[in-house]
């Protein structure tokens, strides 16, 4: 292969075949992929869960991850919080002319490692190349299929008094990407990018009364919790002192006038559970790598219908609405 990607690699001809056969197939090889059909014929039964997502992060490499790891974990997480067991992913690459092949290989290797750790297979895909200046190095789309194991998760199941849990510190991904992009990265702050299917399994095995799970990516925790209560006639009250935020995230957000609760996360989830089961679920979360810093941060309430209310450390209250605009563009 050449040292850089040229438009020829998107032609569908020999160089396209070489890219697939020399780089992609060796990394992702399995029986479903190796036939190199336009789609993968999958074995399975029961209800399927299907999801797709596109990734355009800038920069494509950042502390704690890269666009490849992000694309795998993001789609795995979208399936897992639906109550599915993720099984299969697709991988569609849009490459910019001039992208160093060494950088593409690094991304592909990262996808391979993330998929293996999450226990999923990349079984089909597509590759396109665009002219220099049209693609910002690399965009990725991943679609995923999982088999539904825990049906019924929905915000419509929320009840007044339900406990609201977060699996760890908030705002890590968005802040890490922002600092990497600006060249201001200091200290040990890293993206939280991780697959959460193991954590979801631990939560859902611990209680049959989990109401809903979500991963708070773009828009952060505040936006996702607002989505929880839309159309339910209920509100949520958060306790500021209970919300785990790394000092580095708080400092960076304070310096730039940002709110950590609106910063993206790529390795955290929010859960609403029956209050009687909250302790059991937290114990199960704490036993996992991804949930070791999990915390109860609030409760569903009938007192503030349609509102996400923050009980501040100073004893006051403030309303947290959905994020308006893009606090941090190009973060996933």
pLDDT tens digits, 223-264: 999 999 999 999 999 999 999 999 999 999 998 888 999 999
The mean per-residue pLDDT over the stretch 73-80 comes to 97
The pLDDT tens digits for 2-57 are: 999 998 888 667 888 889 999 999 999 998 888 787 677 777 767 899 999 999 99
Average pLDDT, the chain: 93
The label of the residue with tokens 């194991």 reads 149
The label of the residue with tokens 């915000």 reads 155
CA nearest 298: which of 154, 164, 200, 156?
A: 164
pLDDT at 186: 59
Q: Predicted confidence band at 205 (pLDDT cuts at 50, 70, 90)?
A: very high
Assigned token pair, 158: 């929320």
Give the C-alpha separation, 222 to 228, whole Å.
Answer: 10
Cis peptide before 59 (omega within 30 of 0): yes
The mean per-residue pLDDT over the stretch 128-140 comes to 94
Q: What is the pTM of this model?
A: 0.91
140 three-class SS: strand
* Domain 7-148 CATH assignment equals 3.30.70.20: no
Give the C-alpha separation, 214 to 241, whole Å.
Answer: 22
CATH class held by domain 155-319:
alpha beta
Alpha helices in 277-322 (DSSP H): 278-286
Q: Predicted confidence band at 328 (pLDDT cuts at 50, 70, 90)?
A: confident
End-to-end CA distance of the chain: 29
Q: Where are the domains of the chain?
A: 7-148, 155-319
């Amino acid at each position: 292969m050449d040292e850089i990607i040229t438009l020829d690699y998107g032609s569908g001809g020999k160089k396209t075949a070489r890219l697939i056969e020399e780089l992609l197939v060796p990394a992702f090889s399995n029986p479903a992929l190796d036939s190199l059909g336009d789609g993968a014929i999958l074995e399975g039964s029961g209800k399927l869960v299907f999801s797709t997502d596109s990734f355009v992060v800038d920069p494509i490499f950042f502390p704690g991850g890269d666009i490849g790891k992000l694309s795998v974990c993001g789609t795995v997480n979208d399936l897992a919080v639906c109550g599915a067991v993720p099984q299969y992913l697709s991988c569609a690459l849009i490459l910019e002319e001039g992208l160093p092949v060494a950088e593409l290989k690094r991304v592909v290797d990262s996808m391979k490692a993330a998929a293996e750790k999450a226990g999923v297979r990349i079984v089909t895909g597509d590759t396109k190349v665009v002219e220099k200046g049209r693609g910002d190095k690399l965009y990725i789309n991943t679609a995923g299929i999982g088999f539904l194991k825990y049906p019924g998760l929905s915000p419509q199941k929320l009840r007044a008094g339900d406990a609201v849990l977060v699996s760890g510190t908030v705002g890590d991904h968005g802040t890490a990407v922002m600092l990497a992009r600006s060249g201001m990265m200091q200290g040990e702050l890293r993206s939280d990018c991780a697959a959460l299917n193991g954590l979801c399994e631990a939560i859902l095995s611990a209680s049959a009364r989990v109401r809903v799970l979500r991963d708070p990516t773009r828009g952060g925790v505040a936006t996702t919790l607002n989505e929880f209560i839309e159309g339910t006639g209920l509100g949520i009250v958060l306790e500021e002192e209970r919300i785990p935020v790394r000092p580095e995230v708080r400092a960076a957000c304070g310096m730039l006038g940002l709110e950590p609760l609106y910063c993206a996360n790529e390795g955290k989830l929010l859960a609403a559970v029956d209050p009687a089961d909250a302790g059991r679920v937290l114990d199960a979360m704490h036993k996992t790598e991804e949930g070791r810093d999990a915390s109860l941060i609030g409760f569903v309430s009938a007192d503030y219908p349609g509102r996400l209310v923050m009980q501040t450390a100073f004893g006051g209250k403030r309303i947290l609405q959905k994020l308006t605009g893009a606090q941090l563009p190009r973060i996933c």
